[in-house]
Structure 1
């Protein structure tokens, strides 16, 4: 912190995640600073630039990192924005830390290297516990999602949520407070969790506390819906979906692939219960549910596009060796593989995650990927130039291209059958 000592008389502390991650021996990416005993005028006089609207936050004149005056918060409304913040030179560091969500995020580091830990965060790190700091935790519904995200992020360290904290999360979920969260804010927490190595923990935690039922009832409804045991030894569609999500993490770090894995079976919540454990037409039934959730959470178009395609055509991919060349060509056209080859690769990965996201099938080969990749690579070499040079025009060119592609697929299908 030597770079900040020339800013006397500021009393500066590193707080939150940076302190936590240092104690966990994790790489620190973001530094949050709190200034105790100062004022807006003093910060401006030292060259800081004020950027905060609801409370005084400033950019350091050299590093451009954020510095906030120590503050307290008081609930004054509903939702996660209904707070009044108070910041002045009389607010103590302990008061500032008290408003934070979890004890592991409520520690500070002084310029001399001393850890200030008034609420037992260090002990909770040692015991691998996610515990709320104070009763004020219940005032902010967003904290339910944040705790679920931290449970996902720190699952590899064997962290568990304290029972008393889970109880509060359940109480918040039973109220209407979660409904005050904006779709964008929910997606922010969800997308950050999908980027973790165990995103399934985020969703199972939300389900455990009752939040998933409020925020995404269609996904929550998958639990308890049966699948055919011979194909799905895990049986439950919800468990299967979490297994598919786990497999997608192994195959890709792309948000779109993981989101598609999460959404691929939503249509099973709408299939005829009299036909259980079969789910006839679930691919088509899932499309409006994906449209709905993407609109609700303001999901990026790239993720939405892949999710819709995986939902509609994942069974085609699984049955690739059974499909006629004409059907595969039609599939390629619907997937728009000629203009979006990268998305086609992501489609194959999501389908592979689905196939291997089953109990006992986790390490099963999925040769459909190589087969469809080969078909695409060979047929994508067919260009209209050749047929234009032959004097063909208009629809005749398209027909000739399709015929050539079908011939290629037919020959490749024969060669794969011999392997």
Structure 2
């Protein structure tokens, strides 16, 4: 006997939505109407939900949740009273969801149940909230921004009334209740989308970006030198860099580094505009502040900090003396962590190409840096250490040998730099 025989089960949420959109379904969630926790356990389901009854299918391990309602009891997104009981209907369960396109269900016969206009909004490419209860959970602001990012290529837009409600939530201080870990979790998911910039423009449009990531928000309206930045605005440039990073690399670290690389331009005194002398060091400090505030993992923080600090000098490789190149390798720990240095070069390439008219240009600076690093890497430090008359002389001799290798490589190099 099938463990679901006799149960009223519906496929719900994203799986139904993505089926309608013709997208690949990667995860399936189910709602069970009319059952009790005891009945689910008797059938072999394993309960995993603490706040509300969620069960794992004994064979497929898919999630089956009992139909439930939610009632706001306190500020923030933890303050909810959950009611799961056999009398809760499918329509009541779907009503607690965020967007109409996520409030779709499908029965065992394949019939789609759509009580709140989700199919019409899929056709109209609208991200629309289901009810005023949307305002009870500030996480939904982040989720809407993420869905705007995920479905940007399909033409989805946030409905005007939903955008207004999100603004009202921000003005009411709801986003202050978001814990750093959840904010970073949603940022991570958004950065890994194909067009991550839409996440941040959606948050900026409702005022949430200024509360959650003011270091990014303040870049809009900051002018840059037209000689190097035909796009002008520092905020626009940052999102162009992010989109280019998404084209160049799948890694979260590279995309986060692209997002953060110019934070320091937001702190340049207006009387110095459009120049931003010293913004690299200021950007690196702001990366540390943001990382501490949002509890960002070290591997993301470190690459972002290095990109912020060194992207300017990486671009100017043709102007550097061999000694300065070696200092960059030492400061970035390139010899011990070549993979991270390669990510740094990718983030810098995104910065170079994330400008008006530069998207298809070749970033030959990266080739120069790779060639120079290869020249340094072949220095036989073991042989130098064995030949040194005293241990104290080993570091000096190794550095001298690396500098000599770099000097020779620079003299032999014929790789042009990008203009």
Deviation of the 1:142 alpha carbon: 0.8
Does structure 1 retain, via aligned residues, the 8 Å contact 2:104–2:118? yes
| Structure 1 residue 48 corresponds to structure 2 residue 45 | yes
From 173, 176, 181, the counterpart of 2:170: 173
* TM-superposition CA deviations, 1:281-329 (whole Å, max 9, x none): 1111122211111112111110000000000010010001111000000
1:33-112 paired onto structure 2 within 5 Å = 33-112=30-109
1:116-195 paired onto structure 2 within 5 Å = 116-195=113-192
1:303-342 paired onto structure 2 within 5 Å = 303-342=300-339
| Structure 1 residue 115 corresponds to structure 2 residue 112 | yes
From 7, 11, 22, the counterpart of 2:8: 11
Note the residue ranges of structure 1 that are not aligned, 5 or more in a row.
Answer: none
Aligned to 1:207: 204
Aligned to 2:398: 401
Aligned to 1:410: 407
**Aligned counterparts of 1:286 and 1:240: Cα–Cα separation in 2:** 15
- RMSD over equivalenced CA pairs, Å: 1.2
Deviation of the 1:65 alpha carbon: 1.4
Deviation of the 1:127 alpha carbon: 1.3
Deviation of the 1:414 alpha carbon: 2.3
Deviation of the 1:5 alpha carbon: 4.7
Aligned to 2:366: 369
Deviation of the 1:387 alpha carbon: 1.6
Note the residue ranges of structure 2 that are not aligned, 5 or more in a row.
Answer: none
Task: Please report the TM-score for the alignment, with normalisation by the length of structure 2.
Answer: 0.97
* TM-superposition CA deviations, 1:238-258 (whole Å, max 9, x none): 000000001101110000000
2:413 counterpart SS class: helix
Deviation of the 1:25 alpha carbon: 1.2
**Aligned counterparts of 2:309 and 2:358: Cα–Cα separation in 1:** 22
User: Which deviates more from structure 2 when the two are superposed, residues 282-291 or residues 336-345?
Assistant: 282-291
Task: Please report the TM-score for the alignment, with normalisation by the length of structure 1.
Answer: 0.97
Deviation of the 1:417 alpha carbon: 4.4
Does structure 1 retain, via aligned residues, the 8 Å contact 2:258–2:304? yes
1:7 counterpart SS class: coil
Deviation of the 1:411 alpha carbon: 2.1
From 286, 289, 304, the counterpart of 1:289: 286
**Aligned counterparts of 2:377 and 2:167: Cα–Cα separation in 1:** 53
User: Which deviates more from structure 2 when the two are superposed, residues 383-392 or residues 134-143?
Assistant: 383-392
Deviation of the 1:59 alpha carbon: 1.1
